[in-house]
């Protein structure tokens, strides 16, 4: 029983350590007016465990090197979501490393 309590305490502390930086980043983005409708007066709460990831069953990052095209030899990363509806992966954000700075490529549509 003591071991179960200890494992539970460790798991909760690890969860808290991983959530705090993400929550701080969301708050900072809103305080800096980076997104329409969010500002320094916005408030957020975290549900434990997280009850959703929006319309996606999973969110992940995919890193790769572009070998041909306009951005030949650039490092790139895609933030992707797996659609709950179609169960296919969709690119949410596409970024390239241009001269040491990561920039987000705008969508064409």
3-state secondary structure of 66: coil
Average of per-residue pLDDT across 102-108? 92
Percent of the chain with pLDDT over 70: 77
Instruction: List, for residues 1-45, the tens digit of each pLDDT value.
Output: 556 565 555 555 544 556 777 778 888 888 998 888 888 998 887
Report residue 71: phi and psi, to 5°: -105, 40
Q: Which residue has the tokens 């992966």?
A: 89
Domain-wise residue ranges, the chain:
1-51, 52-109
Write down the pLDDT at residue 14.
47
Sequential DSSP letters for 67-86: -SSTTTT-EEEEEEEEETTT
Average of per-residue pLDDT across 48-77? 86
Model pTM? 0.63
Rounded to 5°, the CA angle 16-46-2 comes to: 40
């Amino acid at each position: 029983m003591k071991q179960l309590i200890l494992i539970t305490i460790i798991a909760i502390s690890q969860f808290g350590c991983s959530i705090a930086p993400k929550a701080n980043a969301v708050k900072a983005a809103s305080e800096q007016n980076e997104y329409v409708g969010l500002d320094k007066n916005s408030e957020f709460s975290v549900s434990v465990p997280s009850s959703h990831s929006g319309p996606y069953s999973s969110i992940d990052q995919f890193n790769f090197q572009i070998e041909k095209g306009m951005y030949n030899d650039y490092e790139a990363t895609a933030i992707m979501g797996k659609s709950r509806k179609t169960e296919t992966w969709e690119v949410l954000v596409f970024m390239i490393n241009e001269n040491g700075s990561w920039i987000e490529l705008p969508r064409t549509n």
